[in-house]
Amino acid sequence: MSKIEDVVSLCKRRGFVFPGSDVYGGFAGTWDYGPLGVILKKKIMDEWWEFFVESREDMYGVDAAILMNPKTWVASGHTATFADPLVECKECKSRFRADKIADGINESVSTEEFLDLHVKCPVCGKENWGPIRKFNMMFSTHVGAVLPDDAGDLAEKSIAYLRPETAQGIFTNYRNVVDTFYPSLPFGIAQQGKAFRNEISPRDFILRDRECSQMEIEYFVKPDTWEENFEKMRGIFHEFLNEKMGLDASLIHELEVAPEDRAHYSKRTIDYMFDYPNGTEELMGLAYRTDFDLNNIARESGKSMDYRDKVTGETFVPHVIEPSIGVERLFLAVLSNAYTEDMVGDDKRIVLKMPENLAPYKFCVSPLLKNKIELVEKAREVYVLLREKYSNVTWDDSGNIGKRYRKQDEIGTPKCVVIDFDTLEDNSVTVRDRDTTEQIRVKIEEL
Ligand SMILES: [Zn+2]
C-alpha cells in the first residue's frame, strides 16, 4: 500500500496536482490541476459521462448555472441545515469542526455531549471550550450592482450562494426535461460540475477541499420500484469503479449508513468506502431520496412536479435514487490504487499501474540517441503518425533511455516506443511495456 505523502509528492513532482495559488504561498482548501492532472481528471469525467449518460437511453444530461435562485436552498434545506458543528478553544481561539476532533460523535453533537468527552485542543492542548455553534458551509456572494455600504435590505436581497451540490441544478430542471422529452420512468438526469463548501478545516489533500467537482445522477422511479432500482444502481457502480476506473474491488467497502447518520432526506444510504493510503474514506454515496426534493420544489415554486404515467394515466411525484461521486475523491482513488513501488533489477522504481483508458499518455516516443539526426527525424515521423492515430502521445528525448523509462513509469504511460538504428533498416521499433518492463520489436505500421 502506498503512503499518502508519496502520492502527494508524485502529484506535485510530475505535474498532476499543485497547491492552489502556490506562488502566493497557497490558499487553504484549494488545489490546481497541472498538465497531467487535467488530462486524468477529464478522462475520469468523460468515462463516467460515456458510461452513465451517452451509452444509455434512459439518461439525460444537463449543465445548470452555479449561481441559482436562493429559493433553491431554502427548499432543499441547505439554508437551515447545511451546517457543521463549530467549536472554539477559548485559550488559543482556534476553531474546529467538533465531530472531527473527537471520536464517536456526528454533526448533530450538542455542547453537553461534546464537553463530556473532555477533548483537548489539538493546537494548545488545553481543555477550555466555548459552546458548539452551527456554521453554515455555503459560500455567499452578492449578485448585481450592490455596494458593501448599501442599506441592509438591498444588500440582503442580493445575497446568492455558490451551489453546495450539483443535485439541485438537476432537480430544478426536472420539470423542463419532463415537458420537453416526456421520458418513460425510470429515467435519470445527470450533471457534472463544480460545487463549493466552506469547510471549517480543509485537509487530507484533495479529499476535503472547498471547491470540488461532482458527478451526480437523479434517477426518477415509480415509488413502489425504488428497491429494485436502488439494487441495479448499486451493482452498476461497482462495475464502473472496477472496470472503468481500474479500482481493486478489495479496496472498496459498502457501508450501510445508520438511520441516525443519514442525511435528513434519505430513507436508505450506502456509502462506498475506499481504502485510501491515509485511511478508509467515503468515495461515493448512493441514496434513496424519496420524493423529498420534488415536493419541496413544488411547495416553494408553486409548480406541479407530477408525472403522468404513459400507460395508466395516473399522476404522482416520482421517487429518486441518487448516486453521487466527487471527482477529486475518485481521482485520488485511481492514483493511489495505481501507485506501485517495485524492483527492476537492483533499482527501485515507482510506477503508476493505471488502466490504459485513464493513462494521460498512451505512448511515449523517443529516439535512442538525441544527437543522431537520422534517429531524431525518424522518431519525429513515428511521433506524428501516432499522434494522428491516438492523439494522446508524448515525446521525450531528455536524459538517457533508462531515465526516460522511469519518468514514463511514474506518469503511467503504458508503452514507450524507441527508434534505434535497426529502425532505419527494417522499419521496426522497440516497444517497452510499463508493467512488465518487457521489450518487443514491432513494425511501425502495426502500432
Ligand atoms: Zn487551543
CA 92 to ligand 1 center in whole angstroms: 4
Q: Give the domain-ending residue among 322, 337, 352.
A: 337
Instruction: Tell me how far CA of residue 85 lies from CA of 92, 132, 259, 275, 399, in angstroms.
Output: 18, 6, 19, 26, 53
CA 137 to ligand 1 center in whole angstroms: 23
Number of domains in the chain: 3
CA 124 to ligand 1 center in whole angstroms: 4
Question: What does the block give as the cell for 304?
Answer: 406541479
pLDDT score at 1: 58
Instruction: Tell me how far CA of residue 293 lies from CA of 78, 242, 260, in angstroms.
Output: 12, 31, 20
CA 204 to ligand 1 center in whole angstroms: 21
CA 117 to ligand 1 center in whole angstroms: 16
The reply to whether 181 and 288 lie within a common domain is: yes
pLDDT score at 405: 95
Residues in a beta bridge with 142: 159
Q: How far apart are the first and last CA of the chain?
A: 34
- The closest alpha carbon to 432, from 413, 446, 445, belongs to 413
The reply to whether 172 and 255 lie within a common domain is: yes
pLDDT tens by residue, 353-382: 999 999 999 999 999 999 999 999 999 999
Q: Is 15 left (phi over 0), alpha (psi -120 to 50) or beta?
A: left
241 DSSP 8-state letter: I
- What is the three-class DSSP state of 123? coil
Produce one character per residue of 106-116: b if its CB has 16 or more CB atoms within 10 Å, e if not: eeebeeeebee
CA 28 to ligand 1 center in whole angstroms: 20
Q: Is residue 173 part of a domain?
A: yes
397: domain CATH number? 3.40.50.800
The reply to whether 116 and 43 lie within a common domain is: no
pLDDT score at 265: 77
CA 115 to ligand 1 center in whole angstroms: 14
CA 98 to ligand 1 center in whole angstroms: 13
Contacts 24+ apart (CB under 8 A), 365-368: 365/393, 365/394, 365/395, 365/396, 365/417, 365/419, 366/395, 366/396, 366/397, 366/401, 366/404, 366/416, 366/417, 366/418, 366/419, 367/397, 367/418, 367/419, 367/420, 368/401, 368/418, 368/419, 368/420, 368/421
Q: Is residue 305 part of a domain?
A: yes
Q: Which residues, in sequence order, are CB contacts of 200 under 8 Å at separation 6+?
A: 84, 86, 95, 96, 97, 100, 135, 137
The reply to whether 185 and 255 lie within a common domain is: yes
CA distance 412 to 357: 11
CA 126 to ligand 1 center in whole angstroms: 6
In which residue ranges of the chain is pLDDT below 70? 1, 148, 151-152
The reply to whether 25 and 171 lie within a common domain is: yes
pLDDT > 90: percent of the chain: 83
132: domain CATH number? 2.20.28
CA 96 to ligand 1 center in whole angstroms: 10
Task: Give how far the C-alpha of residue 6 lies from the chain's centroid of Cα atoms, to the nearest Å.
Answer: 20
Is residue 291 within 8 A of residue 221, CB to CB? The reply is: no
197 DSSP 8-state letter: -
The reply to whether 297 and 185 lie within a common domain is: yes
Structural domain span for residue 215: 4-70+162-337
Contacts 24+ apart (CB under 8 A), 86-89: 86/132, 86/133, 86/134, 86/135, 86/200, 87/114, 87/129, 87/130, 87/131, 87/132, 87/133, 88/129, 88/130, 89/121, 89/123, 89/124, 89/126, 89/128, 89/129, 89/130
The reply to whether 112 and 175 lie within a common domain is: no
Q: Is residue 146 part of a domain?
A: no
The reply to whether 365 and 432 lie within a common domain is: yes
The reply to whether 118 and 203 lie within a common domain is: no
pLDDT tens by residue, 246-304: 999 999 999 999 888 887 778 899 999 999 999 999 999 999 999 999 999 999 999 99
The reply to whether 280 and 376 lie within a common domain is: no
Q: Indicate if the alpha-carbon torsion angle 217, 222, 226, 230 is positive or negative.
A: negative
Q: Is residue 355 part of a domain?
A: no
CA 191 to ligand 1 center in whole angstroms: 42
pLDDT score at 261: 80
CA 94 to ligand 1 center in whole angstroms: 6
Q: Is residue 402 part of a domain?
A: yes
Is residue 290 within 8 A of residue 193, CB to CB? The reply is: no
CA 128 to ligand 1 center in whole angstroms: 8
Q: Is residue 352 part of a domain?
A: no
The reply to whether 43 and 189 lie within a common domain is: yes
CA distance 72 to 287: 20
Q: Which residues surround ligand 1, an ion (CB under 5 A)?
A: 89, 91-92, 94, 121, 123-124
Whether the model pTM is above 0.85: yes
Q: Which amino acid is at 386?
A: L
Q: Is residue 156 part of a domain?
A: no
Q: Cβ of 81: how many Cβ atoms within 10 Å?
A: 14
CA 4 to ligand 1 center in whole angstroms: 27
56: domain CATH number? 3.30.930.10
Q: Is residue 148 part of a domain?
A: no
CA 136 to ligand 1 center in whole angstroms: 22
The reply to whether 170 and 308 lie within a common domain is: yes
